[in-house]
Amino acid sequence: MQVDEKTFIVNSTVSLAAFGSFVEGIFREKKYLTFTWRIGEDRSLDQNSLFHVWLSEWAAHMAGISRKEVVPQMVEFLKRKVKRRYYQETGYRWMLDKLIDPETGEDAGILYASSGDYKVGEMYLLLTWMQMTAAQENGLVLESKGQYAKLQREHEGTAA
């Protein structure tokens, strides 16, 4: 399935055949192609990007300013606060990463894992929690978009 002019998702024999035809057509026209690929389910960009958009929206709402006025330090503070609180409320171990001292190889402590490393379902759970918490505590509606919205529809049985 072609997503845009530079992105193709191959997840079935039909989309594989379509990709093959697409490549042949471009090769006939341009005579030279370079490809990069990623193996695995599409997740990080859509949901991770939405996570950061929501952090900016939430920070703006709490500060009473426009989203354009939000500075990176506000987003970083809120990101750390969200991760800490979500971990405290859920106890999900996937939220944590172990630090290793490169000199000794010893355990050097714990930090919250990068949101870019969360799996599809893990990020879905965090985003769902963020929507609920922002609405309940701050009266802020965080709009479902992109892959997260698609996953919500699938989860609710309303996917097209």
User: Is residue 38 exposed (0-12), middle (13-18) or buried (19+ Cβ within 10 Å)?
Assistant: exposed
Give me the domain span that covers residue 16.
1-40
12, 63: one domain: no
Q: Specify the pLDDT at position 5.
A: 57
Q: Using CA of residue 7, residue 11, residue 17, residue 20, what is the dihedral sign?
A: positive
19, 58: one domain: no
8, 68: one domain: no
9, 57: one domain: no
- Average pLDDT, integer, range 54-67: 96
121, 133: one domain: yes
How many structural domains comprise the chain? 2
67, 116: one domain: yes
84, 152: one domain: yes
Q: Specify the pLDDT at position 6.
A: 61
Out of 2-16, 53-67, 108-122, the most confident range is: 53-67
48, 31: one domain: no
Q: Specify the pLDDT at position 44.
A: 40
Residue with tokens 């030279």: 32
Residue with tokens 């079935």: 12
13, 63: one domain: no
- Average pLDDT, integer, range 7-16: 76
H or E stretch at 82: helix 72-90
Measured between its terminal Cα atoms, the distance across the chain in Å is: 16
32, 53: one domain: no
35, 53: one domain: no
Length of the chain: 160
Residue with tokens 């606060």: 81
- CB-based contact 90:82 (threshold 8 Å): no
| pLDDT above 50: residue 43 | no
53, 35: one domain: no
Residue with tokens 């609920």: 132
63-118 per-position pLDDT tens digit:
999 999 999 999 999 999 999 999 999 999 999 999 999 999 999 999 999 998 99
Q: Specify the pLDDT at position 149.
A: 83
- Average pLDDT, integer, range 106-133: 94
